Structure formats: C-alpha cells, structure tokens
Structure 1
Amino acid sequence: MKVIKILILILNLYVGGFMIYGSLGKFKPSSKPTEIIEKVQKGEEVAPNEEVLKIKNYIFGMKQSGFFWQFLGIMEFLAGILLVSQVFSRIGAIIALPLTVNIFLFHLFLEGHEIGELIQTFALLIANIILIGSTYKIWKPLLYDKGILKTI
C-alpha cells in the first residue's frame, strides 16, 4: 500500500507540474488575434509547411476568441495547483482529464510525427486516468446511485 501511495504522489506531481508548466505560456502577451489574417492579406508566408499551418490555425482560433487561450491557461494552472497540493488532487485530476485528452489528441493528429512528444503526452493521459481510477470508490456515487431508483 505504501508503494501505491508513493506512486500516486509521484503521478500527482507529474501531471500537476505538467499542467502548471503548460499554463504559464498562455499568459504571455501574444500577437494580436488578426496577425495571421493580416499576413495572408499581405502575401507573407504564414508557415513553412502544411503541418505547421494546421497547428498555427488551431492555436490562432483559440487566441482569436480573445479569451479562450487564457481560459485554457487558467484551467491548466488550477488543475495543476490542485494536483500538486495533494489535498485537492482528486478534483484536480478530474479537471485535468479533458485537458490531457485534448493535449494528447492535439499531438496525435497535428504532430503525429513527433514521437517523443506523442509518448510524453500519452504518458500524461495514462497518468491522469490512473489518478482518477485510483479514487474510483470515492467518486463512483457521483456517477451511479442505485438509491435514486428506489425513491421513484
């Protein structure tokens, strides 16, 4: 049991640290939301190849909303702090799950040729699933409650 507790602690720190690190870049001042459009209108090169263009367009779409890129950063930071705290790690793992799924799918479909990053993001996703699975008995009643059927 002690080994499992240490493993959970390490996974909390791994996923939490990854979330915090990833969030920090989203708060830096970035170029204006219309930068890519203006480059295209001027006839300037936006990306050296189609793969990079897809990535830029994906991130550009989130930045162009004016808030989503920063919101993503806030949620990553919140999940990371909750995971690292150990006290609130269960809710942090649940908040981090859609983020880790998105990060993995981003790398799978837009950077599939980057095997190292693909392995790293897959490990992040698996670590997050393990964290949620390790507390299954605690959050199971939130998903399935037999008692509700008896009251009807």
Structure 2
Amino acid sequence: MTRDEREALSQRICDFYIDFSNNSVKATSGRPYKISDEQLDGLVKSVNNRCGLSQRKLGRRFWVHHSTIARTLRKRTSVVIRKRRKAPKMNSKGQENRARKNCGKMYRKLLSGCDVILDDEKYSKLSGNNVGGNAFFDSTNPVTSSANIEF
C-alpha cells in the first residue's frame, strides 16, 4: 500500500466516523454477545424470583464464565439482585395460636404412646438465610416474588 492509498484510507475512516457521530444508531458492529437472545430468555426465567442459585453454576450451564452471567444480567436485563429481609415478628395472638396448636399435637402424640425426647441443641437449616448463598435473590419485580423468597 502506497502512502497516497494509506492517506486516502485514513481520510475515508475519519469521514465515516464524523458522518455517523451525530446519529443515535450504532453504525459499526461490535463483538457479538456470548449469550444469544434465546439463551437470555432461559437465563432470566431460571433466575427470576429464585434464591440460592449461584452464577458459577449458571455459567457452567450456559458454557460461559460466571462474570459473563453477571454482566449479562446487569446490562441486558432488568433483573436486579435484592437482599432478603427478615420475616416480620408475630404478634402475641399469633404466637398463642401457634403454641396452642403445637401443644395439642404434642398432647395427642403422648396419648398415642409416643415418647418425647427434649433436646437443648440448636439445629440450623441449609435452606434459610443463614447460608451465605441464600442471603440474596434475583428478581425483575420484587412485588411478584413470593413471601418465602423475599423473607
């Protein structure tokens, strides 16, 4: 390529970008997305109003890096990561009703010949907010999420 050809090419490139600089439409195409639109729909359905779903597992499922999942959810969708809230405390009437119901169950078990074993150890579930991965949930609209997901 001669010097005149290189200068003409650089002038054409500059003119092209000057002509399209005022347009809102992107004139040049960038790098294609790693996750297609069909896969994006499946990704949104799988994370919407769910908790305990890691981005690493989703990355393995869609054959991409977990940072690609995070970037895609942030830039191409309306899915937002939200923190789960603690459930509201029961009022005294609700506690009385719950205690009356559970005491009745225990009384019926004693009458049927079952033994009661009392234990003072604390047991923790793996499905609640006490596990690090379950402290957050993804949602497009928090109003549509159920109470067991939000709290």
Question: Normalised by the shorter chain, which TM-score bucket?
Answer: under 0.3
Which structure's residues are more often helix, by fraction? 1
Structure with more of its chain in strand, by fraction = 2
TM-score relative to the length of structure 1: 0.25
